[in-house]
Structure 1
Amino acid sequence: MKEVVVVCSSVDAGVTVWDLASGTTLTNLKSCASPRNSLACIGQQFLAASQVHKSASSGGGAIFFWAWHKNQIGSRSYPVEPIEPLACTSDGIYLAGGGSSGRIYLWEVTSGRLLRVWPGHYKAVKCLAFSDDDSLLISGADDGFVCVWPLLRVVASNPFQGAVGEAQAPYLHKWSEHTLPVTGLIPGCGGSSAIIVSCSLDHTCKIWSLALGTLLRSILFPTAINAVALDPGEYALYAGGTDGRIFIAALNFGVPTSSGIVAADGLLGTDGMGHSRSVTSLAFSMDGVSLVSGSEDCTVRLWDTVSRQVIRTFTLSKGPISNLLVVPQPPVLHQGSMAEQQGRFLNRRGPLLPIANLSKYVTSDLASQDANPWEGPPIILPSSFSTEEEDNEAYSYSANAMEKQIGELEKHGSTAAMQMELERLRSELRRALNNGQQWQQLHQELYCFCVDELMGGQREREDDEEKETDKEKEKEKEKERERTRGRNKLTEKARER
């Protein structure tokens, strides 16, 4: 599968998309100036990025949306306060944003409805990430806290218990071991049993266990860390420092010191120099050995983690790199000129996910229906389970969470949730039909067993009756023989007399 590198800057340099394998520029999306951790993919059709405060309106920082095939902004939304970090679920349904006040916002993308706002931190939120199964939202902030929020609890709890839309959401874990602002987060694989790696300006990366809710390891670096990445096998982590170096630390090796802190054990690049200025973002390719790094020196570098050397360098001449994503190449992007790309797309235009402007406030059901009478067409989500897997009732935490989310969102009249509910009901119908067939087979077996038992008992009773009849007949014959013998004796005695 082909991959692309998506980058943007903190100055108005737009969004640039490169082909990872060839280095060819595929498209440039205009008008984007985003802070760190503020670029997110919305499904496979859109990009979203929050804007720096100076480009904000009077209502706060804006969130812009682009379609891959158009270089102009497709939609603009203006929350009530400046939003920096963004994170989206893998299916493109939920978008989370972190505010400068410490509040966390959760939107439904297709309708634009603001589902929940809650005070997650005491200071500005700097990074957000969803777990690999989209059941957990992880946040980090300038207050040094790392919090884990179950999406089920966030959506299911009542946002109107306190101030409108700002009731405290229940968290799963809240860790405070960082002494300076948290700058990056990366969750591992495994859903609610995965690890989480956080980096901070306090020169450390900390590894947390979601299952245990504790700190597993703290890795000390000689400089402040801005970005962190895990290799797909989770054998090592890569940390980007403010001095331009990229450090390597093994997760399964190394002897901790008496304080439980492990030191880094490697560097990328010749003479240990990765970039000439601060590293702002790191991301792994799907091949598992290629690492992509972005820096304030206006370059993006593709690394071979085995040889620790640079394979290719991309240059963004308009400004420093603030955000970087490595994603599968969208179908509408092809190598060639922009005119050729637009011509190809016009010949193969397909349905697009609707993008609505994001609401500023959490509203009740009636108010939301008045404000958003149209929510776009329903979205058909492909099933991620086979029929055999659907028959298995050992559902994971995330599956149960999504079912309850569907029920909650259906109360709000969400067409996407209704379509998800329809798919769930179809799968339940298939399981019910399978169960019905099993019950029919069991009933047939039980019926045959009962008939056999019944017929067998009747035959036994008939045999017993026949035996009793034979015994009675035998007794009658014996009595008749005795009477005959008695008469014979009387006759003989009479003759003798």
Structure 2
Amino acid sequence: MAAPMEVALVSDAAGPLCNCSVWELHSGSALPGYRGGNSGPRGLALLGGEHLLGAQIGKSYINVWELQRKDQLQQKIICPGPVTCLTASPNGLYILAGVAESIYLWEVSNGNLLAILNRHYQDLTCLCFTDDSSHFLSGAKDCLALVWNLYSVLQAEPSQIPDPRHVWSRHSLPITDLCCGFGGPLARAATASLDQTAKLWEISSGELLLSVLFDVGIMAVTLDLCEYHMFCGGMDGSIFQVDLCAWPVQRDRTFQTEQENGKVFKGHRNQVTCLSVSTDGSLLLSGSHDETVRLWDIQSKQCLKTMNHKG
């Protein structure tokens, strides 16, 4: 039996040929992509291992492809407004979309709209589920990150407005990205903001575990699978590697680039928009407004491959 293939799904704002390109991660070879429209930042989502969702830039619909039928756009999900962020639950049962300041929750099996959550005061910027699909997180331009218990949202009466489990209000400028580690309701979550900080939280208690101050706004954040490191993408194109196992433990830290030897990836010429770590923890994938996607060796900080795009 052949070993599983790890691939990168890459979208850009103006690609004339493909909505989503597909690259074999370790070899860098291009595979057939998904055609039809263009997806925005935070606008791609895998659904149940069988479908790919893409929120069309500036339009009120979501494109849907079958993963094995890349040449044909299967259908469109009509939304009440342009979708600013999109995610699907790991169990494949639910879809979340941010439309203006509202979160829309759909059930996949029948297409029913289950809830509209209006607890943010400005446009949504990012959404993500925990790995067990029990909770989801939302971030917005109102500087708030909210943690929601999915069961509580589903059980709420139609006349009730569900309350988030936690309201994280320690950022002073808009939230740009967030991600969840492993562990379901016991997981840790990271948030990034234009206030030049990235913060690490505990979902179960809502406690702030770590706040790292940088000298630039942070546009993207991710964790490796072992959660030894947090990777933060800056507005200047730099990518910072934060050691989460540093001793002594400090809740508030300042990342001083000149003193953090071997902890900065340099190569992008414009702001970093997205980050992802390979399953074996050896490679980092980054996208940027400089219209490139770069593949990095984490140990050496060397750029192994640069993939050019149109947006």
TM-score (norm 1): 0.58
Determine if contact 2:242/2:263 at 8 Å carries over to the other structure.
no
Instruction: Determine the structure 1 residue equivalent to 2:244.
Output: 251
Gaps of 5+ in 1: 162-166, 321-497
Give the superposition deviation at 1:179.
0.6
Instruction: Determine the structure 1 residue equivalent to 2:183.
Output: 190
Determine if contact 2:214/2:254 at 8 Å carries over to the other structure.
no
Q: Distance in 1 between matches of 2:285 and 2:195?
A: 24
Determine if contact 1:255/1:262 at 8 Å carries over to the other structure.
no
Instruction: Determine the structure 1 residue equivalent to 2:7.
Output: 4
Q: Distance in 2 between matches of 1:151 and 1:267?
A: 40
- The structure whose residues are more often strand, as a share, is 2
The one-letter code matched in structure 1 to 2:95 is L
Counting only pairs closer than 5 Å after superposition, residues 356-367 of structure 1 correspond to structure 2 as none
Q: Distance in 1 between matches of 2:171 and 2:215?
A: 16
Determine if contact 1:208/1:217 at 8 Å carries over to the other structure.
yes
Instruction: Determine the structure 1 residue equivalent to 2:44.
Output: 39
Counting only pairs closer than 5 Å after superposition, residues 189-338 of structure 1 correspond to structure 2 as 189-253=182-246, 260-263=252-255, 265=260, 272-316=265-309, 319-320=310-311
Q: Distance in 1 between matches of 2:208 and 2:37?
A: 37
Give the superposition deviation at 1:239.
0.5
Give the superposition deviation at 1:313.
2.2
Determine if contact 1:247/1:267 at 8 Å carries over to the other structure.
no
Q: Distance in 1 between matches of 2:183 and 2:33?
A: 35
Instruction: Confirm whether residue 117 of structure 1 aligns to residue 116 of structure 2.
Output: yes
Instruction: Confirm whether residue 87 of structure 1 aligns to residue 92 of structure 2.
Output: no
Q: Distance in 2 between matches of 1:130 and 1:253?
A: 27
Instruction: Confirm whether residue 140 of structure 1 aligns to residue 142 of structure 2.
Output: no
Instruction: Confirm whether residue 150 of structure 1 aligns to residue 142 of structure 2.
Output: no
Counting only pairs closer than 5 Å after superposition, residues 146-185 of structure 1 correspond to structure 2 as 146-158=145-157, 160-161=158-159, 167-185=160-178
- Find 2:20's aligned residue among 4, 10, 15: 15
Q: Distance in 2 between matches of 1:262 and 1:207?
A: 14
Give the superposition deviation at 1:256.
7.2
Secondary structure in structure 2 of the residue aligned to 1:36: strand
Q: For the aligned residues, what is the CA RMSD?
A: 1.8
> Which has the higher relative contact order, 1 or 2, with Cα contacts under 8 A spaced 6 or more apart?
1
Q: Distance in 2 between matches of 1:274 and 1:199?
A: 21
Percent identical residues: 36
TM-score (norm 2): 0.92
Gaps of 5+ in 2: none
Instruction: Confirm whether residue 48 of structure 1 aligns to residue 40 of structure 2.
Output: no
Give the superposition deviation at 1:263.
2.1
Structure 1 residues 161-214: Cα deviation after superposition (integer angstroms, max 9, x where no partner): 1xxxxx421211001111111011111111111111000011100111122212
Q: Distance in 2 between matches of 1:268 and 1:23?
A: 24
The one-letter code matched in structure 2 to 1:44 is G
Secondary structure in structure 2 of the residue aligned to 1:197: strand
Give the superposition deviation at 1:315.
2.1
Q: Distance in 2 between matches of 1:151 and 1:192?
A: 11
Secondary structure in structure 2 of the residue aligned to 1:147: strand
Give the superposition deviation at 1:35.
2.1
Secondary structure in structure 1 of the residue aligned to 2:171: coil
Determine if contact 1:301/1:312 at 8 Å carries over to the other structure.
yes
Determine if contact 2:91/2:132 at 8 Å carries over to the other structure.
no
Secondary structure in structure 2 of the residue aligned to 1:154: helix
Give the superposition deviation at 1:12.
4.7
